[in-house]
Amino acid sequence: MESFDLALLEEVWSEQDFQDLRQKLLPTYPAAHYFRSGIIGSGLCVFSKHPIQEFTQHVFTLNGYPYMIHHGDWFCGKAVGLLVLHLSGLVLNAYVTHLHAEYNRQKDVYLAHRVAQAWELAQFIHHTSKKADMVLLCGDLNLHPKDLGCRLLKEWTGLCDAYLETRDFKGSEEGCTMVPENCYVNRRELEQFPLGIRIDYVLYKAVSGLYISCKTFKTTTGHDPHSGTPLSDHEALMATLCVRHSPPQHTSSHSHGPAERSALISVLREAWTELDQGMAQALWWATITGYVIGLGLLLLALLCALAVGGGIREVAILLWTPSVGLVLGAGAVYLFHVQEAKGLCRARAELQHVLGRAREAQDLSPESQPALQPGRQEGDRAEEQ
C-alpha cells in the first residue's frame, strides 16, 4: 500500500508466491526479480518502481551442512542478489541477502560459516560496486549489531547502519526486528533478550562527492497496522534516504583514517581466528569420517571372509549392506568436510591478504607510531604460515 522506490524481500521460498506478489504489485512496481539458487531457492526477491538495468547473484560457498536436514539452510542455497538501477543520473547498486540462521547462540556450530558468508558478502559488494555512486544493502543478516560478521561487513565495505544514522526513528524498541510481541516469534528463543533482537538491516554508503542521510526509519511493531496479525515473523524496515552532493567540508562516509584502519585490522584478526578454528573443526570431521571409512572397509572385508568361510553366513550377508551404506555415507560426509575446509581456507586467505595490506598501510601512514612491535610481528608471521 505504501509506494516505495524499492522493496526487497527474503524467505519467499515459493516461486509461485513471488509470481502472485508480482501480479498484485505490478501497478506500483513494474520491475521485479526472483533470485533462484540451491534446491529450495535463495528466497530473495525484489520489486522496483524503476527499471532494473542489470542483475546478478552470488551463492555463498559455505552454507551449513546437508545432513542437518532439520535446519534446512544448506538446501536453500543462500545468496546475495545484486540490482543495478539508474536514479536521476546516479548508479545505485542495491544488494539483498539472507545469511545462515543462528540456532543456538551459546554453542553456535555455524559461526565459522556465518563469518565466511559475511566475508563473501563484503567481498562481493567490494568488487562489484567500484563504479557505483550509491550502495544499498538490505536483508536478514542473522547477526546482532555487535556480532563479528556484522562488524566485519561494515568495516570492510564502509556501509552505514540506517537505524543508527537516522534522526527520525519510529518503531519497535531499539529497532529490534524480532520482537516478543510478534505472535509468530518463539518467546523462549528471546529469553535472553526481553526487548527482542535486531538482525535485519538497511545499510548504505555513497562515493566521495555524494552524501546519504537517513531521513526517516520505521519498523513494524509485531502487529499489522490494520488486521492485528503480523505480516511476518520479522518486522519490516522502511527507510527514506536522502542523497545530496556533499558539502566541501564533508568527506566520504568511509574515510581510511588511522582509527578506521585499526578497527578494520582488529576485526579482520578476529575473523581470521574464527575461520581458522572452523577449518580445524572441518579437518577434524574429515579425519574422523576417514577413520569410519577405514573401519567400514575392514568390516566389509571381514564379512566377505565370514560369508565365504561359512559359519555365521546369514548374519554376514545381512550385515553386508548396512556396512556398504556406512562406507558410502561416511565417504559423502568426508568429501563434504574436505570441501568445507577448502572453502574456509579460501576465505581465510582472502581475509589475510586484506589484513596484510591494511597493516602495511598502517605502518606506512604518517600517523602511525614508528616504534618497533616485535611481539605483534611474530604473531603476524605465525598467521601467515
DSSP 244-299: EEPPTT---SS---HHHHHHHHHHHHHHHHHHHHHHHHHHHHHHHHHHHHHHHHHH
Catalytic residue selected from 33, 58, 234, 337: 234
Nearer to its own copies, 5 or 350 (CB): 350
Give the three cell numbers for residue 65: 551442512
Query: Has 33 been annotated as catalytic?
Result: no
Nearer to its own copies, 39 or 183 (CB): 39
Angle of helix 313-364 versus helix 111-128 axis, rounded to 10: 50
Please report whether residue 72 would count as binding its own copies according to CB under 8 A.
no
Applying CB under 8 A, among 255, 353, 378, 379 the residue interacting with its own copies is 353
Q: Which three cell numbers stand for residue 70?
A: 532439520
Is there binding between residue 298 and its own copies (CB under 8 A)? no
Residue from the set 5, 30, 38, 246 that interacts with its own copies by CB under 8 A: 38
Question: How far is Cα 43 from Cα 20, in angstroms, rounded to an integer?
Answer: 14
Smallest distance, its own copies to C-beta of residue 253, A: 18
Using the minimum distance from each CB to its own copies, give the nearer residue, 158 or 175.
158
State yes or no: residue 131 binds its own copies (CB under 8 A).
yes
1 Cα distance to chain centroid: 30
Contacts of 277 (CB under 8 A, 6+ apart): 112
Among 9, 29, 32, 33, indicate the residue that binds its own copies (CB under 8 A).
33
Give min distance, CB of 177 to its own copies, in A.
Answer: 28
The set of cell numbers assigned to 163 is 537505524
Provide the Cα torsion 349, 354, 359, 362; round to 10°. 180
| 134, β-bridge pairs | 92, 206
Binding mask 190-219 for its own copies (x = CB under 8 A): ------------------------------
Q: Applying CB under 8 A, what is the total number of residues that bind its own copies?
A: 44
* Beta carbon nearer to its own copies, 246 or 339: 339
| Residue 39 makes contact with its own copies by CB under 8 A | yes
Residues between 302 and 321 that touch its own copies (CB under 8 A): 314, 317-318, 321
- DSSP assignments along 296-342, one per residue: HHHHHHHHHHHHHH-SSHHHHHHHHHHHHHHHHHHHHHHHHHHHHHH
Supply the minimum distance, in Å, between the C-beta of residue 339 and its own copies.
5
Question: Active-site positions?
Answer: 234
